[in-house]
Amino acid sequence: MISEYRGIGMTSQRTRERLVKRLEEQGIHNVSVLDAIRQMPRHLFVDEALASRSYEDIALPIGHGQTISQPYMVARMTEALVETGPLNKVLEVGTGSGYQAAIMSRFADTVYTVERIEPLLTRARRLFVKLKIRNIRVHYSDGTWGWPENEPYDGIIVTAAPVEIPQALLQQLQIGGRLVMPVGQQGKQKLVLISRTESGYERDVLNQVSFVPLLSGTI
Ligand code: SAH
C-alpha cells in the first residue's frame, strides 16, 4: 500500500502544485483550503484508469452517472463555509466519491454525509478508513430531507443541484450557520450561499455552475 501511495505521490507532486496554483489564480485565497487540496490524494477517489487526470481542475466520472466535483468547486464551497472560522457539525448532501467530505473533515469536528446511491457510499466509507479519516459519519438516504438526527449544523454543503432549496436543509441550519449549494435547472444553475440570522435567511449568489441534479429516493 505504501508503494501505491509513494509511486503516484512522487509523480503527482508537481501536478498537485500546478493545480493549487491554478486555484489561486482563480481566486481561492484561503491557505488552509489550498493546503487541504494539495495534501488530499484525489487520485484515490477516482477509478485507477483516471488517476493520471485526477489533479486537473475537472470533474471526472465516478460511475452510476455521477462525478467527483471539480477541485475549484470543492475549494470554493469549502472556503465559503469556513470563512467564519472552524466548524463543529457540517452536513454534506451527496457523498459521491467522498472527496469533498474528506476535504471538509479538516475544517469541522464532524462531517455528516448523506448519499442516495449505496455502492458509492460503501466505496467512500472504505476510503475514509484507508485514509484514517475518523470524523466523517455516512448515511444512506435521500438527502433532500437532510439528516435530522444531528441537527442543527453550522455548515451545510450540497453537491447536487435541486430546482429549489429544500426546506429541511434551511430548518436544520444553525442560527449563524451557512449553507452553500447549487440551485436551478440544468444549464442555469447558480451557486448560492445562505446565511441564517436571528431574523431569517440572507442569500448571496457566488458563481454560475454546473452540477449533477439532486434526485429523490435511494437506489
Ligand atoms: N461530493 C461529491 C460529489 C458527487 S456528485 C464528491 O466530492 O465526489 C453528487 C452526488 O450527489 C452523487 O453521488 C449523487 O448520487 C448524490 N445525490 C444526488 N441526489 C441526492 C440526494 N437526494 N440525496 C443524497 N445524495 C444525492
Residue 105 Cβ < 6 Å to ligand 1: no
What is the secondary structure of the chain as a DSSP string?
-HHHHHHHHHHHHHHHHHHHHHHHHTT---HHHHHHHHHS-GGGGS-GGGGGGTTSSS-EEEETTEEEPPHHHHHHHHHHHHTTS-EEEEEEE--TTSHHHHHHTTTEEEEEEEES-HHHHHHHHHHHHHTT--SEEEEES-GGG--GGG--EEEEEE-SB-SS--HHHHHTEEEEEEEEEEESSTTSEEEEEEEE-SS-EEEEEEEEE--PBP--S--
* Percent of the chain with pLDDT strictly greater than 90: 91
Catalytic residue list contains 69:
yes
Positions of the chain with pLDDT lower than 50, given as ranges: 1-3, 6, 10
Residue 78 Cβ < 6 Å to ligand 1: no
Which of 62, 165, 214 is the best mutation target for the ligand 1 pocket, counting ligand atoms within 8 Å of the beta carbon and taking the most? 214
Query: Span 59-209: which CATH code?
Result: 3.40.50.150
Q: Which of 3, 12, 32, 69 is catalytic?
A: 69
Residue 183 Cβ < 6 Å to ligand 1: no
